[in-house]
């Protein structure tokens, strides 16, 4: 009889901890006597049938490495129904019984559709530095990205206070302020601008900065999420410069937040989720993604990927100005 065969892929923006999850998927599968195939460049690899068997040795020394050994892509072709139908036929022909998809909301949407339309059992592992998936308090890469941003901003703080300057620092999060708000708290930022804010963020920023100047602050750090409504930090900076004649500087942290060696948290959750995804697929569970709630591992139906995204905790957003007193 043909052995049970699992395919694993990473999709969307890479995130530190993805390799830990791949390693766990492979080694847990081998431990259960299950074949495991690596699918390269995300859903593009399904379309191109770019897959090959993975052995335990393929996963040696990857736990501590950022990025993904399977490569990744944002595959627009997979949004087309007929492309998914062909991919499902190819998977069945190759004897791949189920899939582990490591990625964010776009990747989980693809996995959900494969399951709904073609009955392919799929398990999702949250892998995105944005930490913006419904039903889970954490995603792989978020903790590492936060620590990277914090390390960079601590350095910026040194020069900001030496020159008595205002710095606007852009962090990632196209449609999520999770990285921005958590970073702002951890760096003692004077203000934070983020997409989910329900106030006029430019006006709120000016009020906060003025209050700081009145209290004698000579330098300030403002953390700006990529997707903030007030605009990118260059636009916000230009406005502030024109209105208040400030000697400010803008830093865009960019993709350094996506790389680097994963933190302990990202390694541990990657390992746990990788192993659990395999065990559940082999036991017949389908159409789910894993997550964490109150630090416990949970399983969430893939259909919930369309639920409202979590927003930065109010307790933290409110704390930024308080602690910048
Ligand atoms: O989804 C993760 C993320 O890093 C977002 O924070 C960011 O907006 C986006 O990916 C950038 O994507 P790309 O690397 O494709 O430009």
Report how far residue 320's alpha carbon sits from residue 325's, in angstroms, rounded to the nearest whole number: 9
Minimal-distance CA residue to ligand 1 atom 5:
173
- DSSP letter string over 51-103? EEE--GGGGTT-TT--S-TT-----GGGGSHHHHHHHHHHHHHTT--EEEEEE
**Measured distance CA(272)–CA(138) in Å, rounded:** 13
Sorted by where each begins, the domain ranges of the chain are: 5-141+262-306, 143-258
CATH superfamily to which 143-258 belongs? Phosphofructokinase domain (3.40.50.460)
Q: What is the mean pLDDT of each run of 10 residues along the chain (325 residues)?
A: 94 98 98 98 97 97 98 95 97 98 97 98 98 98 98 98 97 96 97 92 91 91 93 95 94 98 98 98 98 98 97 96 91
- Report residues whose beta carbon is within 6 angstroms of any ligand 1 atom: 13, 104, 128-130, 172-174, 226, 258
Closest CA to 41 of 89, 107, 98: 107
CA 10 to centroid of ligand 1, rounded, Å: 14
The label of the residue with tokens 């995804």 reads 277
Q: Is 228 among the residues known to form the active site?
A: no
Q: Which atom of ligand 1 is nearest to the CA of 174?
A: 8
Quote the pLDDT of residue 200: 84
151 alpha carbon – ligand 1 mean position (Å): 20
Its CATH architecture, for the domain 5-141+262-306, is 3-Layer(aba) Sandwich (3.40)
Ligand 1, atom 14, residue with closest C-alpha: 13
Assess whether the region 5-141+262-306 and the region 143-258 belong to the same CATH fold: yes
The per-residue pLDDT for 136 is 98
Q: Whose CA is nearest to atom 6 of ligand 1?
A: 173
Nearest atom in ligand 1 to the alpha carbon of residue 227 is 8
Give me the catalytic one of 14, 105, 130, 132: 130
């Amino acid at each position: 009889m043909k052995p049970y065969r699992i395919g694993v892929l990473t999709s969307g923006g890479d995130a530190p901890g993805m390799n830990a999850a791949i390693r766990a998927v492979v080694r847990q599968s081998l431990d259960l006597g299950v074949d495991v195939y690596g699918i390269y460049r995300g859903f593009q690899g399904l379309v191109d049938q770019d897959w090959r068997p993975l052995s335990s040795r393929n996963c040696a020394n990857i736990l501590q490495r950022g990025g993904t050994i399977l490569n990744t892509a944002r595959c627009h072709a997979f949004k087309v129904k007929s492309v998914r139908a062909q991919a499902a036929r190819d998977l069945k022909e190759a004897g791949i019984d189920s899939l582990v998809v490591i990625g964010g909301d776009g990747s989980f949407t693809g996995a959900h559709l494969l399951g709904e339309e073609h009955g392919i059992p799929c398990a999702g592992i949250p892998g995105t530095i944005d930490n913006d998936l419904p039903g889970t308090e954490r995603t792989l890469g978020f903790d590492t990205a936060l620590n990277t941003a914090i390390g960079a901003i601590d350095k910026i703080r040194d020069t900001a206070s030496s020159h008595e300057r205002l710095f606007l620092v852009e962090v990632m999060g196209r449609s999520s302020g999770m990285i921005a708000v958590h970073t702002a708290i951890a760096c003692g930022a004077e203000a934070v601008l983020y997409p989910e804010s329900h106030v006029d963020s430019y006006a709120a920023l000016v009020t906060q900065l003025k209050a700081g100047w009145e209290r004698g602050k000579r330098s300030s750090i403002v953390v700006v999420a990529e997707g903030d409504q007030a605009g990118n930090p260059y636009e916000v900076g230009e406005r502030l410069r024109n209105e208040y004649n400030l000697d400010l500087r803008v830093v865009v942290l960019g993709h350094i937040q996506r790389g680097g060696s994963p933190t302990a948290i990202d390694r541990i959750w990657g390992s746990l989720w990788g192993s659990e995804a395999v065990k559940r697929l082999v036991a017949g569970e389908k159409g789910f993604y894993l997550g964490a709630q109150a630090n416990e591992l949970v399983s969430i139906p893939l259909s919930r990927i369309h639920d409202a995204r979590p927003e930065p905790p109010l307790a933290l957003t409110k704390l930024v100005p308080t602690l910048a007193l």
